[in-house]
Amino acid sequence: MKKIMIFVCLLVSQLTFSQTTFSKGDQFASVSYGLGAIGVNWTDLYSSYSNYSSFTFGPVGVYYEKAITDKIGIGKIGIGGSMNYLRNSTSYDFLSSSNTVSISQLAVALRGAYHFELKNKKLDPYAGIGLVFSHFSYKSSISNANFSFGSPLGTQAFVGSRYFFTDNIAAFAELGYGLAYLNIGATYKF
C-alpha cells in the first residue's frame, strides 16, 4: 500500500502546475491540422468525368510564439509566426486523355496575440492579429495555364485557447480566417 501511495504522489506531482501557462520568456512550438479548409470543393467540378479522383493534403501548419511581456491588464502579449500549407488535386479522363489539375496555397504570417490570464492555470485563451503573405499556385496537364502568384500582404484575426495537460504539453484550437476556419493541434512549451 505504501508503494502505491508513493506512486500516486509522484504521478500527481508530475501533473500539477508549478507555473502559469504563459509567462515572459516562454516559447511555444505548435503543429496543426485545419478543418473547414477554404476552397477544397473546387475538385467537384470534375466529378462527372470518368476515372475521377481527388486528393487533399492539409491544411497543415507550424507555429512559433514567444511570450514578451509581463502582466498587462488582465493578460500578456506574445509574438511569433506561422506557416500553413494546403494542396488540392484532381485527375479525370476527358476526350480519351488523362488530365490532372492541382492547386496549392502557402500562407506565412507574423502574428501577435493577447493571452488572457485565468485562475485555471491549465487554460490559455488568446486573441490576436497577423500580417500574412499568401502564395497560390495552379497547374494543369491540359493547358499552358500553369501559374503562381503571391497576393499582397493581407491581415488575419484569430481567437483560440490552449489546454495544458502537463507543464509543457498542450492541445489547442483556433478559429480565424486563413487556409482553414478551424485549426486544431498540439503545442510544446519550452
Percent of the chain at pLDDT > 70 equals 83
Decide: 152 and 125 in contact? Cβ < 8 Å. Answer: no
Residue 116 has which C-alpha cell? 488572457
CATH topology of domain 2-189: Porin (2.40.160)
**Global pTM value:** 0.79
Domain limits, the chain: 2-189
Which residue, among 92, 97, 102, 89, has the nearest Cα to 148 in the 3D structure? 102
Decide: 186 and 30 in contact? Cβ < 8 Å. Answer: yes
Residue 136 has which C-alpha cell? 497560390
Which residue, among 13, 133, 151, has the nearest Cα to 81 in the 3D structure? 133
What are φ and ψ of residue 2, in 5° steps?
A: -65, -40
**Is the pLDDT assigned to residue 4 strictly greater than 70?**
no
What are φ and ψ of residue 25, in 5° steps?
A: 95, -20
Q: Render pLDDT for 129-161 as a digit per residue (tens, 0 to 9).
A: 999 998 888 888 877 665 666 667 889 999 999
Q: Render pLDDT for 63-95 as a digit per residue (tens, 0 to 9).
A: 999 999 978 887 899 999 999 999 988 888 888
